[in-house]
Amino acid sequence: MQTTRGFTLQWHITDRCNLHCTHCYRDEKMQDLPFEKLTTIADTLIEGLKVLEVTPCFALSGGEPFLRQDLFRLVRYLYSKGVTQVLLETNGTLITPQIIENLNELHPPITTIQVSLDGSVPSVNDSIRGEGAFRKAVSGLTSIIASTSLKTTISYTFHAHNKEDIPSLIALGKKLGVDTLYLTRLVPIGRGKMLDAVLTPEETRDILMYLHQKNQELSRKGTPHIAENRCLFHLTDPEEAVRRYNGREERLGNACAVASSTFTVLADGTAVPCRRLPIALGSLLEQSFLDIWFKHDVLWDFRRRRSLLKGKCQSCKFMQHQGLCNGGAACIAYGYFEDYNQPDPQCWYNPGELG
């Protein structure tokens, strides 16, 4: 497969879940598809991604993906079709010795396990994810680290109810020995449409500045690495962000990847631009990936988003570096304003500031 760049395909292979998190993006459930229809979707995705000449990473998620008995059968199918990178996104509570054995057998294509935590202690995490979730998730993550050579990530959604726990979460990640910490902002959609928990621009600034500082400290000592290739991180050190951008180095900050290097499939085969941007584009059981990718108006809106952005984005100096910002997180703007062309509501930069 000829390749020129990476591409993340997030595929929610089930909506079933053994947890009921307060900030979940889903507020309704879809029926799981039979395995044969999963292969139909896989085929159109793989053929389309070949045409785009990208290196795909299939991020298999849910719900809770380990609830599907045919999860590893699907991984084997993807591998047989040439997919060499698979990420599993899990709540970590269902890890068993048999699952560990399968993870080792299927490495590759499985490269990374991402476990969701929303607190560094049970009192914080379990108030969001349910009683007992913390102990089971940490136990599962510990087993993966001890018994496999897979890369591991903790995913943490921060908001008003758990933001004070971020330093302790970083310490926990270091203690456990995870490779990456992936801290993301709450997107107010689905069950998680908790507008009272959305942080102010100033609170967001303080957290991202702290994370940038901690990442610099951690980089001198090894792991974990805090992922900073996310919207608004460029504002933590604009000169460094632009330098890296121009030098094609690892990004400090990143623009929304919708319609460029990401695509999402829901449990019933519905395609959406991003898991956190719930706008139906069509069904991959009825249309090909390429038909949706090249023909849907919403995706073309994102490809020309620079000309559609509203408010302060129109006069922002960072628009000359579209790959760094380009309006910030469209999903948060959509959840907050019901308009993905509004500026990111947590952006603290005003044109004319910072030089």
What is the rounded distance in angstroms from the CA atom of residue 6 to the CA atom of residue 25?
25
Q: What is the pLDDT of residue 221?
A: 82
Q: What is the pLDDT of residue 223?
A: 82
Q: What is the pLDDT of residue 353?
A: 66
- DSSP designation for 274: B
Tokens of 112: 């990374």
Strand ordering across the sheet containing 54-61: 225-226, 180-185, 151-158, 110-116, 86-90, 54-61, 5-12, 262-265, 270-272, 282-283
Radius of gyration in angstroms for the set of CA atoms belonging to the chain, rounded to a whole number: 20
Q: What is the DSSP string of 134-179?
A: HHHHHHHHHHHHHH---EEEEEEEE-TTTGGGHHHHHHHHHHHT-S
* Phi/psi-derived region of residue 222, left when phi > 0, alpha when psi is between -120 and 50, beta in every other case: left
Residue closest to 242 by CA, chosen among 317, 160, 343: 317
What is the rounded distance in angstroms from the CA atom of residue 216 to the CA atom of residue 259?
31
Question: Phi and psi (nearest 5°) for 39?
Answer: -70, -35
Q: Cβ neighbours of residue 320 under 8 Å, at least 6 residues apart?
A: none
Q: What is the pLDDT of residue 102?
A: 98
67 in Cβ contact with 60 (< 8 Å): no
146 in Cβ contact with 133 (< 8 Å): no
What is the rounded distance in angstroms from the CA atom of residue 199 to the CA atom of residue 160?
6
Helix axes 201-219, 166-176, angle to 10 degrees: 30
Sign of the Cα torsion 128, 113, 263, 31 reads: negative
What is the rounded distance in angstroms from the CA atom of residue 44 to the CA atom of residue 241?
37
Q: What is the pLDDT of residue 3?
A: 42
What is the rounded distance in angstroms from the CA atom of residue 98 to the CA atom of residue 101?
5
The low-confidence residues of the chain, meaning pLDDT below 50, are: 1-3, 354-355
Q: What is the pLDDT of residue 1?
A: 39
3-state secondary structure of 77: helix
- DSSP designation for 338: S
- DSSP designation for 258: B
What is the rounded distance in angstroms from the CA atom of residue 74 to the CA atom of residue 265?
15
Q: What is the pLDDT of residue 355?
A: 46
Residue closest to 265 by CA, chosen among 33, 57, 13: 13
Residue closest to 138 by CA, chosen among 157, 158, 119: 119
